[in-house]
Structure 1
């Protein structure tokens, strides 16, 4: 019988459950904590390539820093050896459920209300990762899990990087990183990306959830990338008239080509979805509101006129690709698409230069700043007042949030990027939703537990086990927990790191010299050194010192375990017997008969 493969001496692999571009995912069992986990390892055929190893390690570093209910949790990272080559791996939460790709294959399309709820879950994860400086870069249905209880969890930060290191989106071979149908225009052009790129990809996912197809389709990844850069998506209501205007408005704003006119953050897009769920107007313009947009019917292709006032410049009417193309023209289409991508990059650069040189801000309006969300309460209020809002009109609403520090702004209403007339600033009510901090949990009792059991208890309570410390103990067996810091029973924030103090056993120490001391002094001294005391009394002639230590075992200078016993031999002076009457020996007038100094 074949022995199961063991990673890190702890994780027993139980078969492949998924494969990605550079990794394999296994179902496994954590033998230490006796739980099922998912483990991602670098594919064996790529294990010898230092480039792939480096990318995988970067993924591990990015993923390990994320801890949020809407993100697949990362428990551990490590490295094993396969055929003499180092193979890094990531240990993740094992989730029972389906990917959105599976859901779409089974249900084809999702009701708009449910699709928006799923998208809200994606945005929760992105809002958290973006605040930590991490862009996902590959949001797509296959990377979003729907659990059995209906929760949304985002996984596979396989191409994520810190924002500070996001100057490029192309590999060394100029291959676009990401999946073509969900690429943002800036990714397709190989430009620097930020959090708004994930917003666009999320818009692509929402579009597909509602319509049953991605916004752009083509014969090749290059052809699809070209459409992301150059063409406008067919409005969802043309594919399914039952899609409400507010849902269409949200998805089309997320799919805006220019990142500056997209939702500026995941929190802003979430705010619109929440407004829609409450029956309130959304900030994204609907087709009916947009007087500059006309839908034209009657030809083999559908054309939509882009409003000329939106960005300060005009573009030719966008053309939508037909669902099917002649197979023989595939190479021509791909070639022209590639040329188009390169050309559009230069065109857009020129357009941005000219559009930014003139400035088109309306001096009669104030835009709600994007950096309000994520800042602390005091800074947010100060910024709002500096814009002209009245302090007394700024209301604070508190909310518990696992991912936010106490005092951090979670949401603002009006939403970021909302434009407000300066004449209305003095009367506009602003609501800041502020985090009360992470919920409090109780440190569980861990004394006398094994180290592994104590760590499991901490994890179950929502806490993290920090570095352990070793101390001697006369009461707790070696290898068991003596105490914790913070102490058991104390209330701390969820996710707090707890230090465990592990017993090294009683420990040895030098036995002090007690010979010549009184029995009481010797007992007190030995007990202060952690020893137990046993006393043997020896009778000595009257007149010798009474109650003094004559001998000790172990002797002075020897080492012994704390908690062990030191035996003291203590003198006990005999008393003189009185002389019987008539013995001829006179009795002193005081009636005594010996040394009373003892």
Structure 2
């Protein structure tokens, strides 16, 4: 093959320039000749491809990862094996994975390019939330990543987040490789969970721990623990958990709490899954409270937790064993000389590790600094001032009439000379013993409970009452009343709406007067008319009748209307002298009576027909007379 002809995998993937290299594989920019799109091709290193057991696991893992389909996971398009011929004629199958090509940078590159080596808290929370959403999806699919770190997370140019390296990370874990057996995981020792460090099985909570380490680094520019691999494993298992704010005072307490909960040594006390941690980050970004158990964890640990040393390295490690938790040793016979030798040999590694951890924390000289005055400052300003002086901050919240958040005392006091890096305890006002009842009228029962707890109060007895003023289960009134001063921790009784209202009998009243009352009860009105001798608009009946009724229902009223108008016809007799006007014939009429000139003064055999008279229409009166007798 000529040097100008690209290497072709699977008959369609052209292998281009090298764009990444890890302990287990190399990543090349590739081109899918069939679909005409750029791809990333991860090719297993030749030295690892010689292990038949590893090859089998890699093949199975590549197939399972190819089934992952999530917006925050680098998509896997294809996988296969490339057969090469070694010197001497032997053939070797090299597995590869074809992935989505992401135009962007890894978080490691982003941190390296940042002037501060950090990412703003809100942006860090956004990025890690998307990482956790990807992990939650992969966990549901039965895959644990096991190697979360900045180098395995891409930040695309459009701001989207992509998690990489699912396949090989799982395959490495399946080999049960230890840090002394392979160099593949040495670079990620800063992020391994305590159970990984102890060689135990891992699960989705192990990914949560690693993600907590990732968030810590994005916020502070350094990992929670630093040092050589052996020291790191010791610290992940035994060292106290540092808070991000001890390195970067601008980190909000909510993120301190989230990191602390994610880095808990006991996985049973950690976030139970990636989704729970992602939800807390989403709540923080939306200005909502995070999980109470997480904030309580921080409150309980704040006074006891150490702080991480500011960069560069130098935080002391707790290496002394916890003798209080050790069981009492039973009486033993005196050791033989050989026994002491064996015991000494067993203790040497631990002693060396302790010495290493201690020596790594020591500086060449002890630097003394004067403690600045921070009383009267707010907590954030005090932290910044102490950090500027090279000191750490421990915070205790106390009851005080000062403004909430104001520093009311410090120990050591102003001007005291202490070693650089020593802690200064500040007492921060949590407000007075008495608090005011917040305005919770109109809130739902759940909202009212949260508002009371935020004020340091508890929800007391809840009573239901019929009321048109509030919707069902919304607060009508409180006892003590709104704005009253009560002792912190007091219970506040509330009355909530039952959702019912009392409906009266409105029969006999005018509908126009009834409407306003019905609307005030939160009910709707329907009117049906009925002819009645009652005054128009009078309520003749209602459905439903008087009694309790749910808010929002419709009350139907039967209302009186006046009868329809009728026409009255009056009939009167007519004579020959009637004066009428004939408007229905063409014959002329006069005002004088008309008679036959041949008639006699008295008619014989004639009949006189009465003609009705109506005001509604004209009529014609005629006299009909029989002929005269000869």
Q: Which has the larger radius of gyration?
A: 2
Q: Which has the higher contact order (CA 8 A, sep 6+)?
A: 1
